[in-house]
Structure 1
Amino acid sequence: MSASQDSAFCALIVMGVSGSGKTTIANALGRRLEWMVEDADRFHPASNIEKMSAGIALTDGDRWPWLRAVAAEIGRRRASGTSIIMACSALKRAYRDILVHGRRDTRIVYLRGDKNLIADRLRARYAHFMPPELLESQFETLEEPAEDEHPIVVDIDATVDAIADRIVTMLRPVRTVS
């Protein structure tokens, strides 16, 4: 399914805690939908990367400029007519509100996973600035998407292909009652 075949959604935000597979799933979706993929980590200022690398959890104050930069990128891509998939932790409702910015063409995809499964994945991951020790702070910060956010919720205890297949089949316009 390409963006031209399904123009109902033109931006997806693939969210979840570190190690849930956001970038992997976003890339798989990008290949299937033929959409551009970005990783929100690319928009972190150096100070945020340094803090996380040192095992220090980010504060909301650290996150606000980063989230605004990510939202601006989504807005730029949408303004140019480009469909985009953004891999972004988006752990709190307030963060997602900034990213979605009231756009009806944007959907949240929540990769939900068991803490033990994700911890195992983090321990097996190399060359990433996010140490496994910060996983607990990620789960403490996490506010699962509410029903009124119309999220696509997918459990991550399956293969990448199975998860991507499930998300693609769940993509459909959100019908709101007037």
Structure 2
Amino acid sequence: MSTAERRGGPEAGGFGPIVVMGVSGCGKSSVGARLADHINCRFVEGDALHPPANVEKMRLGVPLDDADRLPWLDALGRELACPGDVVLSCSALKRAYRQHLRACAGQPLTFVFLHGSRDLLASRLSGRKGHFMPSSLLDSQLATLEPPVGESDVVTVDIDQPLERIVAAAQAALAARAGRGA
């Protein structure tokens, strides 16, 4: 098991692998960890799987390119391919990255896209402390983002609400996709 994971067990939620995605500052880690707790499965913090060179680049304010992201996406894909339910946080900004994760997982995925306005994201980033990703990279991430329009395995959740309501909305959308009602 990965050192990046939090928990798991026999009472896991039965939703299969879930990727909580979006740009920096949208709440992937907070929502992902809380969602994993709510549905009783392990959580993998995608940022923990970045190679050290990627972390240093981002810390210096240099955007990652596709070549930088590929080893990271491969590591995330290995986590998604493990047996059992998992919630994984990952920006998954481009359709090609999401396709790569789908291919690596070898099983159906569900993406939870955390969506918010640039102003809201900037406000959240300005209050964040101790993270390697500087707020100066927000515009780069927004420019890279290919919104998951028309991707049937993606649910979108508005982040302009308190954390517990975001998690509840994500959980309700997952339940609806799984045919369990809200």
**Do the two structures share a fold, i.e. TM-score over 0.5?**
yes
Q: What 5-or-longer segments of structure 1 have no aligned partner?
A: none
Cα offset, 1:174, TM superposition: 6.7
Secondary structure class of the residue paired with 1:153: strand
Structure 1 residue 103 displacement after superposition: 4.6
> Which of 48, 64, 68 is matched with 1:62 structurally?
68
Given candidates 77, 82, 85, the residue that maps to 1:83 is 85
The equivalent of 2:152 in structure 1 is 149
Give how far 1:173 is off: 3.9
**Do the aligned residues in 1 keep the contact of 2:116 with 2:159 (CA within 8 Å)?**
yes
| 2:24 equivalent in structure 1 | 18
Aligned-residue identity in percent: 37
1:97 alignment partner, one of 96, 99, 122: 99
Q: Secondary structure at the match of 2:72?
A: helix
Aligned residue in 1 for 2:5: none
**Distance (whole Å) between structure 1 residues aligned to residue 109 and residue 60 of structure 2:** 33
> Is 1:113 equivalent to 2:116 in the alignment?
yes
Q: CA RMSD in A?
A: 1.9
- Partners in 2 of 1:5 and 1:71 — Cα distance? 20
Describe the shift of the 1:103–1:173 C-alpha distance in structure 2 as closer, same or farther (beyond 3 A): farther
Aligned-partner Cα distance in 1 for 2:147–2:54: 23
Q: Could you tell me how far apart the structure 2 residues matched to 1:33 and 1:99 are? A: 22
* More contact order relative to length (CA 8 Å, sep ≥ 6): 1
Tell me how far apart the structure 2 counterparts of residues 56 and 5 of structure 1 sit (CA, whole Å): 38
- Is residue 140 of structure 1 aligned with residue 146 of structure 2? no
TM-score by length of 1: 0.88
Counterpart position of 1:72: 78
State the match for 1:42 in structure 2: 48
List structure 1 runs of 4+ shifted beyond 4 angstroms. Answer: 2-6
Q: Which amino acid aligns with 2:96?
A: A
Secondary structure in 2 aligned to 1:86?
Answer: strand
Q: What secondary structure, in the 3-state scheme, does the structure 2 residue paired with 1:18 have?
A: coil
Q: Give the TM-score normalised by the residue count of structure 2.
A: 0.86
Residues 120-142 of structure 1: CA deviation (Å, up to 9, x unaligned): 11111111000000000000000
Give the number of aligned pairs: 169
Distance 1:173 1:3 in 2: 22
